[in-house]
Amino acid sequence: MEHSLFPTENKLRFYIERLIYGIVIAMPLQPMVGDVLLWIAIVAAIIDLLRRGRLSLPTGYLSWSVMFFVVWTGLTALLSEHWQWSLMSWFYQIVAGGGMYYLVRTYITTPKQWKYFIQCMLGTAFLVCVIGIYQYIFVPNMHMKEWVDAAQFPKLKRRMASTLMNPNLLGAYLLMILSVVISYILVYVKVPQGMDAQANQRRQDALMMIPIFAILFVTMLLTYSRGIWISFCAMILYWAIFVERRLFWSLLAVPLILYCYEGEIASRLWSIFQGQDTSTDLRWALWDSTLYIVRAHPIFGIGWNTFFLVYPDYNYYIQGPHILMYHAHNLYLNILAEAGVLGLVSFLGVLFGHVYTSIRLQGDIFRQAAQIGVGALVVAVLVSGLSDFELYSHQVTIVFWQLIGLVGAFGKVHFNTK
């Protein structure tokens, strides 16, 4: 039986764990490879469940909140006027995200696995940044006209997109990774030296994370995404309030850049307060049109990922059925439009449920850093969601569910063993 095509239960869990690490590495770099690994892992997990005879309803309010969001969005997709497309999109986006959450929560449950998981995530983010820097220097931006109002920002010739294929999506991905990196740095560096070998190792880990933070931060700046910059400032405020008050001083960098520096970063920062470019005008009109969709479909919405199919009927700003707008550029309005009020409430319930669980975690500084990190992640998602809907991206969505699943794993282990 050692060489059987059907591995033992322990071997199957071993393979699933390795597949999860593979997904963490592959999804930001090459989503097609990541998807193949994801569905292999999901099928293997179903086989594992059937073998153990534990095919049952979710346990705990965190799993129930995720399950309700998945089921509700599936129901809205089924009731959609464009139900075939919506169901396919729901399966590709929501079911895959829920599956990713289940995989991490169920199979990444020990401190050693958590460490490998985070190492894979940080190493991949570093590689994404290296690829982005290479593209920024040597590869012409073919989509700059789509990304920037050239009349408003004549000096801005490049924006970094890397393997996420869009500067805003790259920025959202980096925000999620930075929520982990900076939270662990802030907690680990506070550990007094000479306590014990493990504490000293934590400090060494923090020092090793600082160069990774630096390259992630510079790459995030070079996306020139104003919404991402605002979200990062919100994360700094969060860390300054709950972790390290001295971080308030770092916010002085914004007025200093505006006053002393005349480059592209300053012009983009000034534009936040001016709001005179076509991107801002388009968003206001887009949000207004989306509100008409919400009023017409308040309960079940129009179906997941059908915004671009329905929006032309409500688009008063630029008339014409040929105008494609794939999402509402606002997380709250987009989910309201596509999944109704319960869809948005259930999604927010997932976020705040995991924040509440993280607050209740007790244990070593690894878990303390996780508490801070999930709060920063939620701040990043909710603030960036005011001006964009980056979770429209399959890559960003899967990374989001990976991190939420890790919090679920912390809570599952903590409260099951308490």
Q: Tens-of-pLDDT digits for all 418 residues of the chain?
A: 344 455 666 889 999 999 999 999 999 999 999 999 999 999 999 999 888 776 555 667 899 999 999 999 999 999 999 999 999 999 999 999 999 999 999 999 998 999 899 999 999 999 999 999 998 888 877 665 555 655 555 556 678 889 998 999 999 999 999 999 999 999 887 766 656 666 677 777 778 889 999 999 999 988 888 889 999 999 999 999 988 888 888 877 766 665 565 556 555 555 555 555 556 667 888 899 999 999 999 999 999 999 999 998 888 766 555 667 889 999 999 999 999 999 999 999 999 999 998 888 776 777 788 889 999 999 999 999 998 999 999 999 999 999 999 998 887 765 664 4
Counting the structural domains of the chain, the total is 1
Q: Count H helices, E strands: the chain?
A: 17, 0
Which tokens belong to 339? 């999944």
DSSP-assigned states of every residue in 7-35:
--HHHHHHHHHHHHHHHHHHHHH-HHHHH
Measured CA to CA, the distance from residue 264 to residue 285 in angstroms comes to: 26
Which tokens belong to 391? 């979770």
The terminus-to-terminus CA distance of the chain in angstroms comes to: 37
The answer to whether residue 246 sits within a structural domain is yes
The answer to whether residue 95 sits within a structural domain is yes
By the 8 A CB rule, do 76 and 343 touch?
A: yes
Which of 140, 92, 186 lies closest to 398 in space, CA to CA? 92
Q: What backbone phi and psi angles, to 5 degrees, belong to 139?
A: -110, 125
The answer to whether residue 28 sits within a structural domain is no
The answer to whether residue 52 sits within a structural domain is no
Measured CA to CA, the distance from residue 330 to residue 45 in angstroms comes to: 34
Q: Report which DSSP code applies to 244.
A: -
Q: Report which DSSP code applies to 192.
A: P
Range of the domain at 200: 60-417
In 297-393, where does DSSP find H-type helix?
A: 307-310, 331-360, 365-384
By the 8 A CB rule, do 332 and 288 touch?
A: no
- Indicate whether this model's pTM tops 0.85: yes
By the 8 A CB rule, do 170 and 132 touch?
A: yes
Which of 167, 166, 269, 181 lies closest to 222 in space, CA to CA? 167
Which tokens belong to 127? 């590689």
The answer to whether residue 7 sits within a structural domain is no
Measured CA to CA, the distance from residue 121 to residue 103 in angstroms comes to: 15
The answer to whether residue 30 sits within a structural domain is no
**CA quadruple 255, 256, 260, 264: dihedral positive or negative?**
negative
The answer to whether residue 151 sits within a structural domain is yes
The answer to whether residue 160 sits within a structural domain is yes
